[in-house]
Amino acid sequence: MKWFKHMSDSLSDPFIFELIENFGGDGYLVFFGTLSLMAAEFDINFPGKSQFSVKFLAKNFQISDKKLRKIFNFITKKGKFFVEYCNGMYFINCPKFKDICDNFTRKSLSKSTK
């Protein structure tokens, strides 16, 4: 996937506001950074599903795993995407991810589901 839709008014979104209010810029970075990493690893056979090691995400976002878990728990609780932790890996499921992907990827997805 080359890009995903990032709404220009996302800072006005109540979820994003609450995310930043609770976690500062780290919340914003983790949310949109995770979507970016998922876009880079996008698998047309499993759209919206990715897995990353704790070490990889903590290093990329430059925050502790403890804070990362808190942010992921908040995002999961709000239903934006769902994160499970197991054996040093984060398994992320964003069912709506296919709705915000670029047009080329969206066309490929519709072809693969037919």
Of 31-35, 68-72, 106-110, which range is least confident? 106-110
Residue 107 has pLDDT above 60, yes or no: no
Q: pLDDT value at position 109?
A: 46
In this structure, what token pair is assigned to residue 57? 């995400």
Q: State the pLDDT confidence band at 36, using cuts at 50, 70 and 90.
A: confident
In this structure, what token pair is assigned to residue 103? 């047009």
Global pTM reads 0.79
Residue 5 CB coordination number (10 Å) = 10
> Nearest CA to 19 among 104, 76, 99, 97?
76
Chain segment 50-73, per-residue pLDDT in tens: 999 999 999 999 999 999 999 999
Q: Which CATH number fits domain 10-112: 1.10.10.10, 1.10.3720.10, 1.20.1440.80, 3.30.1330.90?
A: 1.10.10.10
Q: pLDDT value at position 108?
A: 54
Residue 78 has pLDDT above 90, yes or no: yes
Query: Dihedral angle at the C-alpha atoms of 29, 69, 92, 7, nearest 10 degrees?
Result: -30
